[in-house]
Amino acid sequence: MKDERDNILQIKKVNKEFTIEGNTLQILKDINLDIKDGEFVSIVGASGCGKSTLLKMIIGLHSITGGEIVVAEGKNGNSATRIGIAFQEARLLPWFTVFENIEFGITKALSKAERKEQVERLIELVGLKGFEKAYPRQLSGGMQQRVSIARALVADPDILLLDEPFGALDALTRINMQNEILEIWKKKKKTMILVTHDIDEAIFLSDKIVVLSSRPGEIKRIVEVKDSRPRDRSSSNFVYVKKKIFKEFFDETDIDVEYYI
């Protein structure tokens, strides 16, 4: 069952320390993770264990204290692998409308008509038609989060980092968005790295679930899910995997690195 795809991202022995007022705090310890092109990977862990920090290191917003993160060379004629992110908070520009905020995500030089077409396509995709001219403060938290995802998608990145993107959504919208993300992933064959604290969500979407421990954040276990999609949340294997992951959080002694189903 060896996966022959190329690694698009390799996290090698990565450590992260923050120094606050002279105190050095180890946040992440010895993180090793290979992510294949087109893979859907979820990272689960308690709040504060360093999930956002890991994503920020991948995209270059945080320095790496030790180890290295290797990003593969670009494909399809791009010089580099492009990484996009939807932050944990929507982080929209309050003075831009929905349309302008998504347009702000475009990184290529495009004509005005092309920009318009791309933005409209994404507005449709995230279900915000009719809200083009609304300002962020006129939107609910969940709608803002969708604008943020659209802004990340409009640049068509090779790797998309999603930091708890559905946290602000109600249960129904959440499931809708999960289905939509799955569609985008299938259609575009993007590599996706999703941070979440929703284990159901992780199992529903991912090829691989990385379970992080707390203080310092270490990889406790990597769980692979091989069921075909769309997955039935009540299937026996789904529930089985869920139990496995739950066990990780309440049984700190188990330190197996990999677990195959």
Ligand X SMILES: Nc1ncnc2c1ncn2[C@@H]1O[C@H](COP(=O)(O)OP(=O)(O)O)[C@@H](O)[C@H]1O
Please give the residue ranges that form the binding site for ligand X (CB under 6 A).
18, 20, 27, 45, 47-53
CB of 100 to Mg ion, least distance (A): 27
Identity of the residue, 102 or 245, whose beta carbon is nearer to another protein in the bound complex: 102
Residue 155 sits in the site that holds another protein (CB under 8 A): yes
State how far the Cα of 191 lies from the Cα of 206, in Å rounded to an integer. Answer: 11
Please name which of 208, 177, 174 lies closest in space to residue 191, comparing C-alpha atoms.
208
94 binds another protein (CB under 8 A): yes
132 near another protein, judged by CB under 8 A: no
Burial-class residue 100 by CB neighbours within 10 Å (0-12, 13-18, 19+). middle
84 is in the binding site of which of another protein, ligand X, Mg ion, none (Cβ under 5 to 8 A by kind)?
another protein
Sign of CA dihedral 71, 191, 177, 218: negative
| Structure-block tokens of residue 80 | 């580099």
165 near another protein (CB under 8 A): no
Per rule CB under 8 A, is residue 17 in the interface with another protein?
Answer: no
Q: Check binding of 118 to Mg ion (CB under 5 A).
A: no
User: How does DSSP classify residue 121?
Assistant: H
Nearest to 82, CA basis, from 173, 172, 175, 8: 8
Whether residue 199 contacts residue 242, with contact meaning beta carbons closer than 8 Å, is answered with yes
> Which CB, 21 or 256, lies closer to ligand X?
21
Residue of the chain from 37, 38, 66, 96 that contacts another protein (CB under 8 A): 96
Q: Which stretch binds another protein (CB under 8 A): 31-39, 103-111, 179-187, 223-231?
A: 103-111
DSSP assigned state of 254: -
Q: Which does 50 bind (CB under 5 to 8 A by kind): Mg ion, another protein, ligand X, none?
A: ligand X
